[in-house]
Chain A
Amino acid sequence: MPQVSMTVNGRAVSGEVEGRTLLVEFLREGLRLTGTHVGCDTSQCGACAVHVDGKLVKACTAFAAELDGAEVTTIEGMAGADGSLSAVQQAFQDYHGLQCGFCTPGMVMAGAALLEENPRPSEADVRQYLEGNICRCTGYHNIVKAIMAASGQEVEPVAAE
């Protein structure tokens, strides 16, 4: 079985994998980083999205064995060392951008990647960028809002009495 070494959330890790082991399986089962989720088997839902060498990647589309030497960031690596949420994570809470939380890791990883590429996206930009991420709970309204707010743009406040 091939041996693979990579950096995950800043930590050097290595392990034996089968040739067919997917990155998402290596993360979840090998490293017990269960924040990255599996929502489909056709690379359509984005629940498994992580950053590989700074790029947004669906972890169900990559073989772990091919990622020797890669830098991987998962949802577990997004908050500060002191536990403080990143701007995107905080905005998701502030604007109720999550309900069941299952799509959320992928949404946060996608949102962060978008803002890296495009620091002031329009609503249409955000919707377009989320093309590969499915959420069944939120209707996307508050996800879009959260990502716009994280970019420092003015958005409608949450509903209140």
Chain B
Amino acid sequence: MPKDTGIGASTKRREDVRFLTGKGRYTDDIDVRGQAHVVFLRSDVAHARIGGIDTSEAEAMPGVIRVFTGRDFEGVGGLPCGWQITDRHGQPMQEPAHPVLAQGKVRHVGDPIAAVVAETRQQARDAAEAIMPDLEELPAVIDMKAALAEDAPKVHDDLTSNLCYDWGFVEENKAATDEAFAEAAHVTTLELVNNRLIANPMEPRVAVGDFNAATGDHTLYTTSQNPHVIRLLMGAFVLGIPEHKLRVVAPDVGGGFGTKIFHYAEEAFCTFAAKALGRPVKWTSSRSEAFMSDAHGRDHVTKIELALDAQNNFTALRTETYANMGAYLSTFAPSVPTWLHGTLMAGNYRTPLVYVNVKAVFTNTVPVDAYRGAGRPEATFQLERVIDLAARELGVDPIALRRQNFITEFPYQTPVAVEYDTGDYEGTMKVLEEKADLAGFAARRKESEAKGKMRGLGVNCYIEACGIAPSKLVGQLGARAGLYESATVRVNATGGITVMTGSHSHGQGHETSFAQVVADMIGLPEDMVEIEHGDTANTPMGMGTYGSRSLAVGGSAMVRATEKIVAKAKKIAAHLMEASEGDIELKDGTFTVAGTDKEVAWGDVTLAAYVPHNYPLEEIEPGLEETAFYDPNNFTYPAGAYACEVEVDPETGQVTVERFTAADDFGNVVNPMIVEGQVHGGLAQGIGQALLESCAYDEEGQLLSASYMDYAMPRAHDLPMFTVDSSSRTPCTHNPLGVKGCGEAGAIGSPPSVVNAVIDALHSGGHRVGHIDMPLTPARVWAAMNGAVPNMGAAQPAARTDATTEARSVGGPATRT
């Protein structure tokens, strides 16, 4: 019998009813009485000096209230970066200023130059078009290696170069790693691009600023994954508003995937302008603006080398990565290619020596920051591709090679600073073999061949560090914030419960799954528990939702607060039943005294707490409300094994995903239906990265993929039905729920298996192709099969500089094995 309530039940989501009937309340649905609208004039060139900005014509247009430029923001702070990296030489990273509106220069297409506030959005839009900025165009740097050349134009004139940092990890391992390479029986080397992506949550960003002059209170409604973090960053670093005078509300949010973590200029603008004008000010991003103003993701160029001994044991791993930061440092940007990437380079394997070098580079492109998985997909992709290539070079089975090198003992201290608490990589692989019917692959390949198609099988493993993060550890690593979570559990007099969590739900279904946990702990129907989130006015400090942290960290805070509630309620129950506290048991919402038939209902205890007539007032306070902060003492380590089967059309290079199977170990699972849905969504994004999506710039820094016409979002007919299994379970050992997190796994784990599968298909057709850079479009695959250079119409921003590799990054001659 499947569980029908509490932890482990696939409870249907309560939030669905409002979303299915058009009653959701997203930020753009909020209109504040008297609001004006802002439209931003954005740079249409990648790099230019701003001479002057003639706003006179715009100011005279109908409905225009005021035009703002960078001058108006000289007295306020810039957008802060939340992470400080120390480089290989012990120096802090270079950290440029990031003004709310451009000052002096524009540095990427989309950089805001001016803002028009008008009575209506149409009026603001019309007036923005009438602003005449005097832009003296400068040469742009788009390619990362070109950006590091001696004579490269500088994105920021006040920095010494375009190098943000040159990071080595673990620097002390470098010499030993080099030595292991010198002694290796075999070395496999691979250069690859992790293509730049645009997160594209379906809801574009929106901000509404409001100010009450009588009280001095500011309110910002914004599409954020972490309203408290926005309150802190914007209040303390940009506008100088103390937190108690600033309320940030992130109501229903239509997807985030990382890109709604960061503090953006438009939020600060609306808050600032609402006070300056004495009017609420609303901004709604168009999708076109989103493409050039939402932080992008990925964009790494990596050389990875794997050393093996004569028995095919991994002996060392060495990488060199160029990571694009874009024109400014977005909130989390410096941490992504470093601590969220370097620490995962051991993967699921016992590689004793790992050395990771990352050069983070400023370019005239949109800032790059965390996108679903953030750093971990980049790590997984390199590692799982190089292992596959090594297996091919050595003529061994790629699964056997992985198995032979699996970590099998836990806890396991990796050479890259983290300790995996638990896992069972062999067990997960076995689940995969069965669920994916790997034994039947040969027969399926024959069928495909009979239809004239090449069929390939790609397998990979992944591991991620989730449940972000132990504050003490990340503090040492350069985080400028703690990464705990908080929850308040408020039990009302009649027994119903309101939980206020610092986590934020924007598709994850917390209102349902969090309620399952609390209801289960007390033994109540789930509908007696309400989950509130997303408003700094009614939740304690929250760090928000990203890094698959909500249940592991936010849920743990809620468990701790509920434990305090239960402890206090037992004291009250003991008093009511004149029993000793130690004998009180709570089950199914009823308190009993062990060994007797005495009992008292949950509602009687909660009522007593608020109507304390018969109550131990001398021992405890009335009321039943508790808050807990939970700071994890380690990351969690979800892991899994994925298999992809593709068909490739030998005539066109078209790839279709025929089967995709995911076997995950997420530890304990609260709502299996929601978990499965999270994996589906992640897989679609990972397969999208592998086959379809690419953010492309031309050499001048024009964003070529600036709409859904040019940026290929995965659509229903691009994807198959997925087979998803999370029955492999090694519960996390250090959080009370034993959960690990599931939100990013699909996006982290799927790109390598797709590419591995395509390479396998090509080999089956006699094409000895070693690697093709993502996305594996028909043009790139066809070119790889035919030894040609396709005209992709665009260079990737990450294009490599040397002739052969540059050609490859635009899809051209693939490496051969």
Pick from A42, A94, A102: contact of B203, CB under 8 Å = A102
Q: What are the interface flags for A98-122 relative to B under an 8 Å C-beta threshold, 1 for contact and 0 otherwise?
A: 1111111100100000000000000
Please judge, given known A-B contacts A100-B202, A133-B716, whether A89 and B20 are in contact too, CB under 8 Å: yes
| Residue contact B19 to A101, C-beta cutoff 8 Å | yes
Q: Is the CB of B16 closer than 8 A to any CB of chain A?
A: yes
| Residue contact B202 to A128, C-beta cutoff 8 Å | no
Known: A127-B716, A137-B507. 16 other contacts (CB 8 A): A35-B21, A35-B24, A40-B287, A85-B17, A93-B16, A98-B16, A99-B509, A100-B252, A101-B254, A104-B20, A105-B22, A139-B680, A144-B716, A158-B672, A160-B673, A161-B8
Would you list 23 pairs from A and B whose C-beta atoms are within 8 A, ordered by A residue?
A37-B202, A41-B287, A45-B708, A47-B202, A85-B20, A92-B16, A96-B13, A96-B674, A101-B19, A101-B24, A102-B24, A123-B721, A126-B716, A130-B715, A137-B677, A139-B714, A139-B719, A141-B677, A141-B721, A144-B716, A158-B673, A158-B676, A160-B672
Which B residues touch A39, using CB under 8 A? 202-204, 287
Which B residues touch A96, using CB under 8 A? 12-13, 673-674, 676-677
Q: Is the CB of B10 closer than 8 A to any CB of chain A?
A: yes
- Which of B202, B708, B717, B724 neighbours the largest number of chain A CB atoms within 10 Å of its CB? B202
| Residue contact B2 to A161, C-beta cutoff 8 Å | yes
Q: Is the CB of B9 closer than 8 A to any CB of chain A?
A: yes
| Residue contact B28 to A38, C-beta cutoff 8 Å | yes
CA–CA, A75 to B22, complex, Å? Answer: 6
Q: Is the CB of B707 closer than 8 A to any CB of chain A?
A: yes
CA–CA, A46 to B632, complex, Å? Answer: 41
| Residue contact A100 to B203, C-beta cutoff 8 Å | yes
Which B residues touch A126, using CB under 8 A? 716
Q: Please give the number of chain B residues whose Cβ is less than 8 angstroms from any Cβ of chain A in the complex.
A: 65
Please judge, given known A-B contacts A36-B22, A93-B16, A102-B202, whether A45 and B287 are in contact too, CB under 8 Å: yes
| Residue contact B680 to A141, C-beta cutoff 8 Å | yes
CA–CA, A134 to B15, complex, Å? Answer: 20
CA–CA, A137 to B16, complex, Å? Answer: 14
Q: What are the interface flags for B515-542 relative to A under an 8 Å C-beta threshold, 1 for contact and 0 otherwise?
A: 0000000000000000000000000000
Distance of B670 from chain A, by nearest CB (Å): 10
| Residue contact B200 to A136, C-beta cutoff 8 Å | yes
Query: For chain A, which range describes its interface: under 10, 10 to 19, 20 to 34, or 35 or more residues?
Result: 35 or more
Which A residues touch B677, using CB under 8 A? 96, 99, 137-138, 141-142
Distance of A114 from chain B, by nearest CB (Å): 11
Which A residues touch B673, using CB under 8 A? 96, 158-160
Q: Is the CB of B257 closer than 8 A to any CB of chain A?
A: yes
Please judge, given known A-B contacts A20-B122, A76-B22, A96-B13, whether A159 and B716 are in contact too, CB under 8 Å: no
Q: Is the CB of A33 closer than 8 A to any CB of chain B?
A: yes
CA–CA, A160 to B670, complex, Å? Answer: 10
CA–CA, A143 to B202, complex, Å? Answer: 15
Q: Is the CB of A151 closer than 8 A to any CB of chain B?
A: no
Q: Is the CB of A140 closer than 8 A to any CB of chain B?
A: yes
Which B residues touch A161, using CB under 8 A? 2-3, 8-10, 669, 672
Which B residues touch A18, using CB under 8 A? 122
Distance of B513 from chain A, by nearest CB (Å): 12
Q: Is the CB of B33 closer than 8 A to any CB of chain A?
A: no
Please judge, given known A-B contacts A35-B24, A42-B709, whether A140 and B507 are in contact too, CB under 8 Å: no
Q: Is the CB of B253 closer than 8 A to any CB of chain A?
A: yes
Distance of A85 from chain B, by nearest CB (Å): 6
CA–CA, A132 to B538, complex, Å? Answer: 39
Please judge, given known A-B contacts A38-B28, A40-B707, A102-B202, whether A139 and B19 are in contact too, CB under 8 Å: no
Q: Is the CB of A44 closer than 8 A to any CB of chain B?
A: yes
CA–CA, A98 to B21, complex, Å? Answer: 12
CA–CA, A39 to B677, complex, Å? Answer: 21
Q: How many Cβ-Cβ contacts under 8 Å join chain A to chain B? A: 203
Which B residues touch A13, using CB under 8 A? none
Q: Is the CB of A135 closer than 8 A to any CB of chain B?
A: yes
Q: What are the interface flags for B492-512 relative to A under an 8 Å C-beta threshold, 1 for contact and 0 otherwise?
A: 000000000000001111000
| Residue contact B719 to A102, C-beta cutoff 8 Å | no
Q: Is the CB of A59 closer than 8 A to any CB of chain B?
A: no
| Residue contact B680 to A135, C-beta cutoff 8 Å | no
Q: Is the CB of B26 closer than 8 A to any CB of chain A?
A: yes
Q: Is the CB of B23 closer than 8 A to any CB of chain A?
A: yes
Query: What does DSSP make chain A's interface, helix, strand, loop or mixed?
Result: loop
Please judge, given known A-B contacts A39-B204, A104-B19, A127-B716, whether A159 and B672 are in contact too, CB under 8 Å: yes
Residues from 62 to 90 in A contacting B, C-beta threshold 8 Å: 74-76, 78-79, 83, 85, 89
Q: Is the CB of A53 closer than 8 A to any CB of chain B?
A: no
Q: What are the interface flags for B674-706 relative to A under an 8 Å C-beta threshold, 1 for contact and 0 otherwise?
A: 111110111111000000000000000000000
CA–CA, A82 to B678, complex, Å? Answer: 32
CA–CA, A69 to B255, complex, Å? Answer: 36
Sorted nearest first, the 10 A-B pairs with minimum C-beta distance are A35-B22, A101-B19, A102-B254, A139-B684, A100-B507, A160-B2, A44-B708, A99-B507, A139-B680, A75-B22
| Residue contact B681 to A139, C-beta cutoff 8 Å | yes
CA–CA, A78 to B21, complex, Å? Answer: 7
Q: Is the CB of A131 closer than 8 A to any CB of chain B?
A: yes
| Residue contact A37 to B254, C-beta cutoff 8 Å | yes
- Which of B253, B509, B675, B680 neighbours the largest number of chain A CB atoms within 10 Å of its CB? B680
CA–CA, A34 to B24, complex, Å? Answer: 8
CA–CA, A145 to B736, complex, Å? Answer: 34
Distance of B710 from chain A, by nearest CB (Å): 9
CA–CA, A83 to B287, complex, Å? Answer: 33
Pick from B10, B716, B746: contact of A160, CB under 8 Å = B10
| Residue contact B255 to A100, C-beta cutoff 8 Å | yes
Pick from B254, B288, B678: contact of A41, CB under 8 Å = B288
Residues from 180 to 205 in B contacting A, C-beta threshold 8 Å: 200-204
Residues from 230 to 271 in B contacting A, C-beta threshold 8 Å: 252-255, 257
Distance of A81 from chain B, by nearest CB (Å): 12
Which A residues touch B8, using CB under 8 A? 161
Please judge, given known A-B contacts A42-B287, A44-B709, A134-B202, whether A158 and B22 are in contact too, CB under 8 Å: no
Which A residues touch B719, using CB under 8 A? 127, 139-141
Which B residues touch A33, using CB under 8 A? 22
Q: What are the interface flags for B445-480 relative to A under an 8 Å C-beta threshold, 1 for contact and 0 otherwise?
A: 000000000000000000000000000000000000
Pick from A45, A79, A140: contact of B684, CB under 8 Å = A140
Q: Is the CB of B286 closer than 8 A to any CB of chain A?
A: yes
Q: Is the CB of B610 closer than 8 A to any CB of chain A?
A: no
| Residue contact A131 to B201, C-beta cutoff 8 Å | no
Q: Is the CB of B29 closer than 8 A to any CB of chain A?
A: yes
Which B residues touch A128, using CB under 8 A? 716-717
Please judge, given known A-B contacts A126-B716, A138-B680, whether A102 and B201 are in contact too, CB under 8 Å: yes
| Residue contact B26 to A102, C-beta cutoff 8 Å | yes
Which A residues touch B669, using CB under 8 A? 161
Which B residues touch A83, using CB under 8 A? 21
Which B residues touch A159, using CB under 8 A? 10, 672-673, 675-676, 724
Which B residues touch A99, using CB under 8 A? 255, 507-509, 677-678, 681
Residue in chain A with minimal CB distance to B505: A100
CA–CA, A35 to B26, complex, Å? Answer: 9
Residue in chain A with minimal CB distance to B509: A99
| Residue contact B202 to A35, C-beta cutoff 8 Å | no
Residue in chain B with minimal CB distance to A34: B29
Residue in chain A with minimal CB distance to B726: A159
CA–CA, A93 to B678, complex, Å? Answer: 15
CA–CA, A104 to B682, complex, Å? Answer: 18
Q: Is the CB of B814 closer than 8 A to any CB of chain A?
A: no
Residue in chain A with minimal CB distance to B256: A100
Residue in chain A with minimal CB distance to B725: A159
CA–CA, A35 to B28, complex, Å? Answer: 11
Q: Is the CB of B73 closer than 8 A to any CB of chain A?
A: no
Q: Is the CB of B713 closer than 8 A to any CB of chain A?
A: yes
Which B residues touch A131, using CB under 8 A? 715-717
Q: Is the CB of B68 closer than 8 A to any CB of chain A?
A: no
